[in-house]
């Protein structure tokens, strides 16, 4: 048995098709880990049953434990001990899941286990009696690690149960990423057009205190006669076994008694995830009415927050943590008057409701299942004796958000979370970048939709070019050039545009003559201004474009421009460098890697070894400044890194990570240094959680990339720059996913200082 196949995590938990919140939680977590890390872990389930019931389980279920049979605990532990594949046993703990007054029979299982154990406490009860305290202490002592879902639970374990803080990890209940949808369209589908929707979901039981919300409804209806309250979910199957539909009947009778039957709908079914998320997206206010003061965590209102629902909740610890700072409203247990006041206040103030939605989404986003998967995977790795490296899975390429951002005029600059902000207007920068990305994507897929987008971006570039050949960058939502063009330096946008046009012309076999002629004319018209560029980044962008253009339209004039730009970059390097500073300026700013990358292209064009050596020494210096042994940390936009000073921390942007990946690709193709390829993979993993917050930057549901990584949070806005740059990075990585470089034998065997074929290098890079 190989080492990887032994790296198996056994989840001890209820599991679907058993209808139980913890069963759903476990399934969602396993799916998230599988999606995020692929073959890094094998995951199996020991399904908990309280009687010998034969359910039709899926292949994930490896063992079944009958928790009502005490002898079964130790018997199963022996089987697990003898199972060489299992490296960690991960127990989902809730008091009612195991036999005994407080579920103490679980100790029979734990005492017999010889494998490392993690226990996730779904409920942590404050002020415990002696018996409960003794049980939790015993479980904690037998486990190597403890997981709780709120900081409050951690505090209680430490202060009241005296569990060591070293043993506890806080990993919040996971939530689903949701792509923004049109609320009114969803309401129409559910015949709720024009209604203000309140909702509650979950398996029904008296502990949910739905009657508190029903008692509040008459006051709400008096002021908002269009309100409808949706009670989503069937009765908990264990409750049905004990008392049938007694509680639901009680609620239905109360609806009739209060005369609110036209304003309350029961959806008596176990909802699929897709249906549940749709109901939450059409919800204007989510109501959490539980009267269980010891309920540590609620997945239900977490899901509501992830769908941007303003939440009004009773003061369970989880709610008090998540709904502070006006991210929601707290009301007292079973206080219908307070609940009514909260609903009325929010329905009366749409602006406050919108702000609350945004704050709730900002609060809940770190708890996405993707981020939960990262936290759990790191926990597994730290506990595992194998110390295997985590391999982040690569999501499928998606243009969904780019299509959403693109209007008939161009790609919109900014986005409010996942919703394009048309008021932000357009920039040449973004449309040039989009042209590069879509050109590469069309080369890969030959998707006809790409052609329509490419034409939009190319037409924007044509519009932005002035009669003298220069380009303007900023365009307002109405198609007018913005005043910013008069006082902002436009060099970078010009350089990026030449890069984009050169990349486009390079792929001439894919496009119509009309588009190619347009692109060529735009580039040629701009050539007189290239030698006036002063910014090393602008010069480098332009040099890349000229290199690609010259591969197709060989010209002594273009070759001369490439040499002139490269010579100027080398001159800047000689003026700035010293024994500790191998760079072109006295500071590192943004898009740094493009400068040595451009010099390497100049070497490929000319064979000048000065360009090659300068490119490598400066690139290696840059890498030494931004890579740690485990991740990348690009130069902060809070303050550039000046020569001789400490590097600023935090404020990392996707554009810098993406450009570094693109540059690493070229350097690897030329120098064949394997460390460049490793760094490429490391840098790409930054987007997927390998960063100081251990949170995703790329949203696989929307296809958008978030705008930045700050000290304590991710900027959730998914603007054009970030999204396009992620796509460029993703397309760069695609060839490593499909196949290694296709390089001719003579290329591999060529001396390091020989001039390689430009066409061949371009094709593989």
- Which pLDDT band, with edges at 50, 70 and 90, does 753 fall under? very low
Is residue 389 exposed (0-12), middle (13-18) or buried (19+ Cβ within 10 Å)?
Answer: exposed
Per-residue confidence (pLDDT) for residue 743, from 0 to 100: 35
* pLDDT single digits (tens) 24-79: 999 999 999 999 998 788 999 999 998 877 789 999 999 999 999 988 999 999 99
**Strand blocks (E) in 256-313:** 264-267, 285-288, 311-313
183-366 shares the fold of 3-170 = yes
Neighbours of 377 (CB within 10 A): 22
- What integer best gives the mean pLDDT of the chain? 91
Rg of the chain over CA atoms, in angstroms?
A: 30
In this structure, what token pair is assigned to residue 14? 């209820």
Interval 697-709 mean pLDDT: 96
Per-residue confidence (pLDDT) for residue 20, from 0 to 100: 86
* Coil, strand or helix at 46: strand
For the whole prediction, is pTM greater than 0.85?
Answer: yes
At the topology level, CATH places domain 183-366 in: Rossmann fold (3.40.50)
At the topology level, CATH places domain 3-170 in: Rossmann fold (3.40.50)
d(CA 681, CA 664) in angstroms, rounded, equals 10
* Coil, strand or helix at 556: helix
Per-residue confidence (pLDDT) for residue 387, from 0 to 100: 63
Per-residue confidence (pLDDT) for residue 3, from 0 to 100: 42
pLDDT above 70 for 594: yes
d(CA 510, CA 454) in angstroms, rounded, equals 12
pLDDT above 90 for 1: no
Share of the chain above pLDDT 90, in %: 79
Architecture of the domain spanning 400-764 = Alpha/alpha barrel (1.50)
Residue identified by tokens 């070497």 is 603
d(CA 357, CA 351) in angstroms, rounded, equals 10
pLDDT above 80 for 709: yes
pLDDT above 80 for 154: yes
d(CA 25, CA 398) in angstroms, rounded, equals 27
- Which pLDDT band, with edges at 50, 70 and 90, does 402 fall under? very high
Q: Which of 133, 138, 127, 79 is nearest to 105 (CA)?
A: 138
DSSP lists the bridge partners of residue 264 as 229
d(CA 418, CA 430) in angstroms, rounded, equals 17
**Strand blocks (E) in 525-589:** 587-588
Domain range summary for the chain, segments of one domain joined by + = 3-170, 183-366, 400-764
pLDDT above 90 for 626: yes
In this structure, what token pair is assigned to residue 98? 């195991």
In this structure, what token pair is assigned to residue 704? 């958008």
Per-residue confidence (pLDDT) for residue 747, from 0 to 100: 33
d(CA 653, CA 658) in angstroms, rounded, equals 9
Per-residue confidence (pLDDT) for residue 19, from 0 to 100: 84
Interval 471-475 mean pLDDT: 98
Strands 117-121 and 86-93 turn out to be parallel
pLDDT above 50 for 758: no
* pLDDT single digits (tens) 243-302: 999 999 999 999 999 999 999 999 998 888 889 999 999 999 999 999 988 776 777 888
| Cα diameter, the chain | 90
Task: Please tell me which residue, 389 or 277, carries the higher pLDDT value.
Answer: 277
DSSP lists the bridge partners of residue 698 as 705
What are the phi and psi torsion angles at 67 (to 5°)? -70, -15
Q: Which of 16-20, 54-58, 402-406, 749-753 has the highest mean pLDDT?
A: 402-406
In this structure, what token pair is assigned to residue 490? 């436009």
Per-residue confidence (pLDDT) for residue 633, from 0 to 100: 96
pLDDT above 50 for 467: yes
pLDDT above 80 for 416: yes
- Which pLDDT band, with edges at 50, 70 and 90, does 638 fall under? confident
DSSP lists the bridge partners of residue 198 as 229, 285
Per-residue confidence (pLDDT) for residue 7, from 0 to 100: 82
Per-residue confidence (pLDDT) for residue 182, from 0 to 100: 78
């Amino acid at each position: 048995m190989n080492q990887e196949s032994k790296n198996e995590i056994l989840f001890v938990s209820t599991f679907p098709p058993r209808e139980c919140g913890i069963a759903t939680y476990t399934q969602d977590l396993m799916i998230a880990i599988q999606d995020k890390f692929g073959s890094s872990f094998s995951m199996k389930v020991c399904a908990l049953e309280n009687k010998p019931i034969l359910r039709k389980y899926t292949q994930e279920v490896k063992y079944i434990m009958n928790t009502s049979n005490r002898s079964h605990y130790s018997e199963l532990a022996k089987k697990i001990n003898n199972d060489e594949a299992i490296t960690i046993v991960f127990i989902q703990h809730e008091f009612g899941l195991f036999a005994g007054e407080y579920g103490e029979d679980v100790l029979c299982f734990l005492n017999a286990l010889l494998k490392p154990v993690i226990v996730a406490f779904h409920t942590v009860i404050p002020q415990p009696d002696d018996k409960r305290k003794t049980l939790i202490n015993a479980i904690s002592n037998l486990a190597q690690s403890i997981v709780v879902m709120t900081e409050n639970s951690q505090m209680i374990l430490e202060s009241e149960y005296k569990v060591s803080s070293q043993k506890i990890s806080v990993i919040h209940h996971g939530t689903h990423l949701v792509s923004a949808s049109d609320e009114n369209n969803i309401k129409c589908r559910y015949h709720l057009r024009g209604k203000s929707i309140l909702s509650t979901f979950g398996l029904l039981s008296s502990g949910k205190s739905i009657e508190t919300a029903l008692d509040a409804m008459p006051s709400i209806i008096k002021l908002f006669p269009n309100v409808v309250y949706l009670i989503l979910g069937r009765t908990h199957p264990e409750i049905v076994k004990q008392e049938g539909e007694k509680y639901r009947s009680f609620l239905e009778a109360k609806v009739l008694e209060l005369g609110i039957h036209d304003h309350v709908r029961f959806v008596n079914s176990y909802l699929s995830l897709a249906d549940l998320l749709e109901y939450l997206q059409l919800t204007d206010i989510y109501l959490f009415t539980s009267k269980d003061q010891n309920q540590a965590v609620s997945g239900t209102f977490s899901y509501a927050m992830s769908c941007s629902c303003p939440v009004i909740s009773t003061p369970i610890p989880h709610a008090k943590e998540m709904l502070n700072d006006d991210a929601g409203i707290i009301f007292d247990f079973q206080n219908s008057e307070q609940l009514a006041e909260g609903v009325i206040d929010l329905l009366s103030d749409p602006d406050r409701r919108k702000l609350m939605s945004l704050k709730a989404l900002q609060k809940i986003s770190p708890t996405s299942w993707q981020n939960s998967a990262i936290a759990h995977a790191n926990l597994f790795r730290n506990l595992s004796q194998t110390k295997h490296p985590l391999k982040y899975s690569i999501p499928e390429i998606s243009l969904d958000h780019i299509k959403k951002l693109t209007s008939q005029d161009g790609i919109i600059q900014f986005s409010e979370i996942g919703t394009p902000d048309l008021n932000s207007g357009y920039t040449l920068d973004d449309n040039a970048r989009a042209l590069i990305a879509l050109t590469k994507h069309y080369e890969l897929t030959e998707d006809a939709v790409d052609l329509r987008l490419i034409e939009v971006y190319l037409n924007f570039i044509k519009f932005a070019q002035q009669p003298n050949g220069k380009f303007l960058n900023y365009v307002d939502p109405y198609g007018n050039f913005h005043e910013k063009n008069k006082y902002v330096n436009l060099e970078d946008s010009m350089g990026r545009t030449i890069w984009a046009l050169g990349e486009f012309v390079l792929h001439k076999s894919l496009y119509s003559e009309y588009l190619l002629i347009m692109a060529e004319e735009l580039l040629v018209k701009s050539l007189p201004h290239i030698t006036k560029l002063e910014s090393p980044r602008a010069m480098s962008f332009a040099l890349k474009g000229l290199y690609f253009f010259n591969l197709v339209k060989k010209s002594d004039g273009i070759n001369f421009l490439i040499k002139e730009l490269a010579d100027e970059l080398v001159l800047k390097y000689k003026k700035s460098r010293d024994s500790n500073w191998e760079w072109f300026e006295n500071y590192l700013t943004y898009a740094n890697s493009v400068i040595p990358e451009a010099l390497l292209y100049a070497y490929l064009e000319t064979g000048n070894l000065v360009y090659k050596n300068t490119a490598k020494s400066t690139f290696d210096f840059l890498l030494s400044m931004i890579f740690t042994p485990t991740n990348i940390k690009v130069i902060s936009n809070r303050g550039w890194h000046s020569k001789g000073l400490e590097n600023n921390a935090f404020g990392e942007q996707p554009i810098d990570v993406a450009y570094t990946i693109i540059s690493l690709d070229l350097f690897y193709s030329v120098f064949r240094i394997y460390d460049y390829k490793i760094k490429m993979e490391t840098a790409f993993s930054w987007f997927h959680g390998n960063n100081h917050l251990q949170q995703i930057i790329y949203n696989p549901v929307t296809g958008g990339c978030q705008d930045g990584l700050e000290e304590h949070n991710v900027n959730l806005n998914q603007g054009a720059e970030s999204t396009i740059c992620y796509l460029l990075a993703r397309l760069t990585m695609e060839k490593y996913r499909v196949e290694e470089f296709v390089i001719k034998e003579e290329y591999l065997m060529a001396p390091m200082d020989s001039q390689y074929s430009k066409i061949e290098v371009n094709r593989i890079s």
